[in-house]
Structure 1
């Protein structure tokens, strides 16, 4: 065994998380390709190591450990299955992990374990039913995971788990009353599933338990009836016998399933989220092939899923709880088949041609009578419904169904045959859901043959099997997926019912990209094959589904969506226009490019222009497609083709097109702008020569002889091309009654006006012209004289819209516009802002460069500043890492020059900045963000900044990530703490802070801080903010915090006390000494620069007036005169040590060495402060290496009698250790509580009791409840020390308010007598604490539960308890009403 590869790797396992990650990747790679040795000691060692990884606190280590266990189970199921069941409790505990990914991976691994060949869901349910685990676990997430597993078993293996499910009915009923809402919802849904699958006997049994009140039971029955009536994906009806009968198979036979029948567990219809590539559980894992293999081996007519996913063969599976909660993964990496001859290829995919060939590839069957047909089809129905039947027999029965239909003669009653076929719906749906690929393929072929033969007569079968087929599309087995995909195409082609469309529309929100892709494919089929009567009521829903497919995250789904859009546009142009209008410009461009490339071959033979006469067309098109800037186009080419003003439609269609204006040109609908190509580069399109009737009679003699052979897109190619001038113009303008009523002169004038407008728009040569939401208004050009007398002359033709500039401004453009492109062309602000939203990266980069020149203009108006600010905010939120530094620099320049006009923009800009600062970024990006933040701080009025930040903080619309919230809080701290010494524009001392927005922000801060998910991240910033707020204005601080809840006030008081912030003002020297001795958080200035803080702070108004009068030298001298250098022993930040484990270990070792030296109290206190600072900053990560040693040192410090050692700091370190690594303190619970009590009782410091109370509260809430209660009872019963008793009573009282009600009921009988005994104490302090504890118990568990323990008290003491309980209830009701 010493030479085994796994044994060698396991010997390298350490406690270092980084080393575990590296080792885990090596083990995962090996265990995915090699089997694990069956040696018992090796397997036990392997699982012990993995269990240690799972129980650790590192998220990535837990994830890699679960991946290793999954890969090992897939490669060596026969070796590891029994060992996994022995350690199933570890997986159950991981179902309650804080990370969603870990929870899902643990659940999927449990499901995979249940579906092994020699395993069963019954065995896993046995583990989940153990008291204290699974359904009875104290962690609500574990309960939810267990319930989801039960729902999976109910939907997939109902016959196996029915007896256990019936036993669990009382437990499920109790869970519907769980304190957690999510547990209640899942348990309710589980009961509904059980009722749906089990029928009326289960409903009666649930009602007979009487554990659910009448109202809830009525709701359950209503939801049960609704589900039965509406759901189309229910499993076959099961006949359930409540009592075990001799006909039932024994449980051992269910646990030991036959290897020859791998399809006994019927999987659910919906797919689930999996962390590996998923496959069917009963068949060997079969990875998909690469794209090259698929293209070379696939048949000529591939099915919609015959090509592999671009993700390299690993198809993600999504969890759809409305159909089936969870799905066990059994996929495997393609590396298993690198050297194997059994590797599957793309030729396994099933195509439409394969289906049609298989229709008649069946053995011949002789049919004698109608009775003979009924007998044979009923036999087939029974065989197909039996999951225990051999798969070959089931496949033969599916072929028999096709053979019966093929060999029927005219004497057979057709109505009888169709009725019997409809009775096969459940059996066929059962076969479609099967795990055996041969069964799924034959079932899909049989169903397709039925739809092809009978059509709408078997619509019930189609509606039944469609959900199962769509669910099978997402599996990784190519035969199953492609068979199901082809079946869906047949269903949509032949069955046109509303139920079919409803089932399809449910896939729009599926998490499986394969299902969404197949939805887009069948949408194209639906649009093309369904008649108008069936499509008209659901046309809007079809359009919405097509739009969702176009905007999908998957590339292949978007391609299929664009094809569906082309078909929709061809048949329903108005609906396509509505979709096109709602799409963003990038999607519109994709539609134009994709459809034009697909329809170019159709238009090439109908184009009158010679391709050779336009040598630059192809080159310019390539520049456009490669996102080159339009300014690179040669202007000489542009001038040479300028008279040719006809443009191609910006969204081509699959129909033949001509080169004139479309018929809808005069319409005000969006299709006119979309199809007429406003602003299109004319040199890139095929053009026709203009005739004199087009309005260019006097422009050039070269164009007087036009080509008269052009055909209209509305006319047939066989019709005559001769048209009169008015007919030609009218055909260009459209065929509406308005155009028909025009005279020849009026029509010519209208056509000339439209041509002139297009000429003006084509001068800018933009790539992204489709982004313009309105026609740019340009100076008028000379128009034909006949147009001046026309009644159709637009009123705004002679007006030009340009921003007015000051003639003395150095930034004034020569032509009313600013900015210049790469070719020297002048650009307007509107043009630059439009270019900033371009999808072209080069275009956007050029626009940002031009914008830097524009924003320095002091004459920008308020509206222009608003538009520029909105554009910069959008650019900052896009997350483009390539341009982010340029964008931040532009924002800094914009603020510097235009900050007086940006009051309304400040709130939005700060929000985008905080969101960006909360995201992971490179060091250079972080530096740029810091510089931009500094520009905000040093430019805007600090009071206005505070209001903007507080308003944004309380705005419920904006949701920030935890790191973004941290950035926001630190920004407020910077406003308070005067962090920028070279520009002291921050809040003055005694600034009025008692405002509504400040109060709301403080309440919001506490809501964030008390959130258990993010409170640890925000705690240091909240402490810093409270101290800074108190230092800025103590009076307003008192007013604000006076209206907050008591726990918030107590917390703030403790923070101020710990940080040395007292109400009385002492001399500066003493204040600094006390601040240094008591402060555990000392902010480090940015970039580690020493900052000199002036005692006499310069106000904002004074600074504005003196900044212009005094030179920099005088100001620096003034600051130096009134400045005091910072204390030299401020603790530096250790955040950089979080990822540098080598330096972190050395630093911690030095501090621990200093802590052991009790003779040097100063160094010991400094070392404790440094370690506590590391824990506050999150840079202490080597817990496994130093936890035991640090805990021993803390215990020694708490036991010493030296008064020079800061024991309060040791208590805070113990709190941090318990919060971060509570499990490591489980075994020393009694020691920890005893040490804290000893420290509090032997100290002369009056404030030590407060610190001890906080520490005891943390220990009681994190350590095992039974041990805490046991030591508390021992201390209260044996110790006569009143101080220790008071601390224990306060600890228990706090614990009563924090723990769950079920846990409290378990310990009431143990702790209530102790409080009653303490109520009889001689000490008034002990009696007071006992009363508060009894009141807390009565509030939580009720007077009826406490009455047996309170009988020994006299009437006066009971009245006192009733009085306090009444006051507590009244205060709670008053707080809730407010």
Structure 2
């Protein structure tokens, strides 16, 4: 067959002769069932529209052939069939009420196939909504059965059940007894997937007929007792309880006025997951940004709490979704609007996300138009507007994941610019939003944006960029970082040598994560460090190389050997004595405690103590002279770097203890 075969069929399917239609239908089915036959033609849309007309034929064989042909086209075209969904679904709903079982089954199969290959189940059910109120009782029954099949095939997370449940509840009072029974069974099936959250919503918000409610609740309890609930229902309930507990703790933490330092718990951020209805469940958050005593400071737990602190909105069509987004865009684009109006618009944006806006193809096109207004909001002079913008961006990242790559690249520089802001709510909001982006949106182009900031004059920016790099190298897969591994290596090197103490600590942690992905580059980075920074990397108490057992390999990364410190017989004996660290600044002694230099002992004189101190200082100077004359420059530098671990000039009192055991008269 050549490319024009489908065009040839297009000229034949318009015939009014039923027998010819059946014959042509058989030929088309045979043609499409052969994978080697192409479907390219001048106008595939004309061919599909002609086949859709067959679904409305009064002859069941013609309708059956039409459903079979459309199913084969869906298998071939997959996403390319999406523009024809609306035209195909409407007559398909009518065929669900056909008197022939074979036609009903084929229509059901076609709809399920569209869910698998063309569009998400929620989009299909948007087009099936009229079926819940169809004039044919058989159609209403079949749509309910189709919903049960979808729940068991795609799970409750694939549907916005809040928009479907009112129609199901209404069918509990349907004139047809089979429809009422199937509606009852459908509600039970929804509860089996969702759990107690659905039960509470059903009792409090839905107009369930009083005669049906006790039987429903009894059936729900029976499912629980017989352990027939699905794991998704138990997981949702458990996550909700944990979330509520976590939120309760955050509220009490905000009220406290203590100045406790921030606690780092595993450094994890909630990961992305799809929006499944008006009440999404968020995981517990970690890595608080600021202490609870910081007034106005934000952290991940507060962000998660505020994600769903929005008005409830219902969306029933893509047109309605676009109208909402257009109004939000107009409000945010005009900075002359009142700040509280802009805050309300940002909350409304999150509300339409929860309502299922992401299930519409038009959403992503409209999201691109939302980039400039959101950037304006991030740079707004009102701190509350900035906070809501950061919360909205974090929520977008959590829900969309990698689909937010382009937008996250655009907004990241603006978020980094918030870090040095003197307003705590602005600064911490920007930090938390960046953490959500790094956790959920693994866009490789974010890496050079972060690494370029390591040369920024602001130490706050450098410090937090090192924290972001630490999070990134521990959370992202290797393939996402390969292209920019050199930039990561250089940024970590700068961080390890940064003037800020916290930046250096975060950079050292980032080094160990980097070594897990790129061992050779980590070895090169280690060898390029000066002895002081290399020693700090070895002795980091939070990393495995700081173990006292041995300075073994750094995740099998090569390193230069450490030169052993020169020692003599006298120093070796001193090194074996456990010596506590002493502060450089003298610390006041408690009342009644004599100072070390002023103590009196019957076995030792004060002058002998002073002479011993002088000798110890001279001895230490002589040791340094030996290092300078007998060792290489590199060894001397490393010895000097290791000197703080033991300094005889600071440990004069040890010599004094030795003197006490001898005869002081022999040293006069």
Which interval holds the TM-score relative to the shorter structure?
A: 0.3 to 0.5
TM-score (norm 2): 0.44
Hey, which of these two has a bigger chunk of helix by percent? Answer: 2
Higher relative contact order (CA 8 A, sep 6+): 2
